[in-house]
Structure 1
C-alpha cells in the first residue's frame, strides 16, 4: 500500500494532516504490535547473562501524530546498537544518545519529546525537542540494566574480612581469593577460592590485592590485564615501588600502573582494620562516581558526561570535545591521569 508519510517519523499524513509532512510517498508496512517482542526478550536475557550493559527503552505515553505506540520497546547496547522500535528517525538519534548516557551513569530517566519542550516541564522529566515537522509528543522511559558490581579481594587479612562485609552490604558481588582463606571467615562472599586463573578474573571488577607480599606481583599483573574499574594494593610505598618496577619489566603499561591505588584507600588517618576497610571502600565509591579529566588535570563527574574516550581499556571523561581531542592526540603525555571506568 502507498500512502503519504513523513520520511522521518513514518506517520501517515493522508487523513487530516495535509501540509504537516515532507510529502514523500513510500511503502509502509502493516501496523506493528506494541510490546516486548520475544526476540527482544531473548536479546536482553542474553546481554544480562553475559553481564553486558544495556538499556531498555519503553514508550509510556504518546500524543498523535507519532508513529510510536504505548508499549513499544527497544534495546540499546553500550556500544550503540539499537534493536526494536520506539519511533522513527525523529526519535531514534535522541533515544540512542540518552540511552547511552543512562548506561554510562546508571541512572534511569523519563524523556519527553515534543514540538514545545518548554511546555513539558515536570519534576523528573527530561524535556527534549521533537525534530519531526509533523509534530506529536512521545514520552519514553529509559532503564539502564547493568551487571552487579564485583568486588574481588586477594588476601584474608582482618581488613579484607571487614571490606567483604561492607561490600556485600553495598550490593557488590564479593569474591575472595587466598590459598589459606577460610570460607567461614567470609560468610558474605559469593565465592571463596584458593586460586583463580587469570582469564577467569571478571573484567571491570573492583579489586584489592592484600596478600602481604605473597604472590602479589602475579595477582596485580593478572588483574591489570582485565581492565579493572579499581585496583588497590595494600603495600608500603617502598614495596609498591619495587612491584611497579617489576611490573614494568613484565610489560604492564605505565599508564595502567599509574592508575593503581597504592597504598589503597583514602587518606583518613585509618589505623584499625575497620577504618582501613572503610577508607578503601570510600575510594572505590569515589572512583566509581568521578573520573579524571587528564587534559586539564582536574576532575569531571562521570554522571552525565557527554565527552568520553577509551584507551587501553580505561574510560576517560571530559568536560568538552576540545579536551577530548587534545587528550586523544597524544594520550602518552598524561601518564599521571587517574582515569577509571564508571
Structure 2
C-alpha cells in the first residue's frame, strides 16, 4: 500500500472513524487497473487511491460504503458480461467501459472496536469488563470509587461527562441506586445501541416513573433492558455477566442483520444509461432533464444521455434524485 494511504488509514483509525480498504486482486486486459492497486474509502464517501477508471470507481465506492455500513467484506467482479461467470460469494457488477476488461476487487471494512460503557463497579461489572474485552469490546468504567486494579482491561473514569460519551455505544448502568437517573439520561442522550440496567423490577418501576417525570420519552424508556441480561436464571456475578454480554451480542447481531444500526443508509440512484447503481452523495456525474436530476457512473454515460436523453427517458431506466 502507498505510504500516504497507510498514514491516512492510521489517522482514521486513531480517530475511530470507519473506512474501507479496496484492493485489486485480479484483472484481465484491457482494464487500466493493476493487481495490487489500492484505494481507501472513508465513511464520508471520500475516495483516495486508484482501482481503475470512472467505470469502476462509482461501483467500488458504493460497495465500499455498503461494507462500511454493514461491516461485511466482499469480493467484487466487474465484467462486461457479469452474468457469465457466477461464483458463490462474489458480487458481480457490469463493467460499462467501452474498452472492456475485467477486474476483481476485494473490499475490507475497517471498523473501530465496539464501545461498552459500564456505570458502576460491582462484582458482576468486574466480570463483565473482562468478558467484554475478550469478545472485542473497548470497555470504559465510570465510577468515582472504582479500583483500577480490578479493571486491567478497561479505562476507568472517575466522573460522568455526558457530552463526552460516545454515540451508539453499548451501556450498562449498575450504580445500585447511586446516580442511576443521571447515568440513564446521559446514555439515552447519546442514542445507545444497547442500554441495560441492573435493577429489580420494583426498582426499575421507580426509575421509569422518575424518568417520565423528568420528560424522558416513554418510547426511549421502553427500549431499556431491565433487568439487564437474557433470562438464564443467573444468580452469581459470573452468571449475571454472561447473561448481559449474551444479550448485548444478540441485539447487536440482530440489528446488523436487519439493518437497524446507527449507520446512515447509503442513498443510491440508477444510471439511466448502463443501469449501474450510483451513490448519490458526492456524485461526480449528474445531469438535469425535465426538472429531474439523473446520476451516472462515469462521464461517458453522462455524455450518451445528453446526446439522446429522450431515448433513455423513454426506456424508463432512470432513477430520480433530488
Do they superpose with TM above 0.5?
yes
1:69 equivalenced with 2:34 (yes/no): yes
Higher RCO, 1 or 2 (CA under 8 Å, sep at least 6)? 2
Partner of 1:36: 2
**For the residues of structure 2 that align with 1:256 and 1:53, how far apart are their CA atoms?**
27
Q: How does 1:105-254 map to 2 (within 5 A)?
A: 105-122=70-87, 124-189=89-154, 191-254=155-218
SS at match of 2:140: strand
**For the residues of structure 1 that align with 2:240 and 2:208, how far apart are their CA atoms?**
22
CA offsets, 1:247-284, max 9 Å, x none? 33434344433322111111222222222111111111
8 Å contact 1:36–1:71 — kept in the other structure? no
- Of the three residues 73, 88, 99, the one matched with 2:64 is 99
1:55 equivalenced with 2:20 (yes/no): yes
Q: CA deviation at 1:219?
A: 0.8
Q: How does 1:259-338 map to 2 (within 5 A)?
A: 259-291=223-255, 301-302=257-258, 305=259, 314=262
**For the residues of structure 1 that align with 2:105 and 2:96, how far apart are their CA atoms?**
15
Unaligned 5+ runs, structure 2: 266-322
Q: CA deviation at 1:200?
A: 2.3
Unaligned 5+ runs, structure 1: 1-34, 292-299, 318-342
TM-score by length of 2: 0.74
**For the residues of structure 1 that align with 2:227 and 2:7, how far apart are their CA atoms?**
44
TM-score by length of 1: 0.70
**For the residues of structure 1 that align with 2:70 and 2:177, how far apart are their CA atoms?**
36
Q: CA deviation at 1:59?
A: 1.6
Cα-Cα RMSD: 2.4
CA offsets, 1:70-110, max 9 Å, x none? 33322222233333332233222321222122112222222
How many correspondences in the alignment? 265
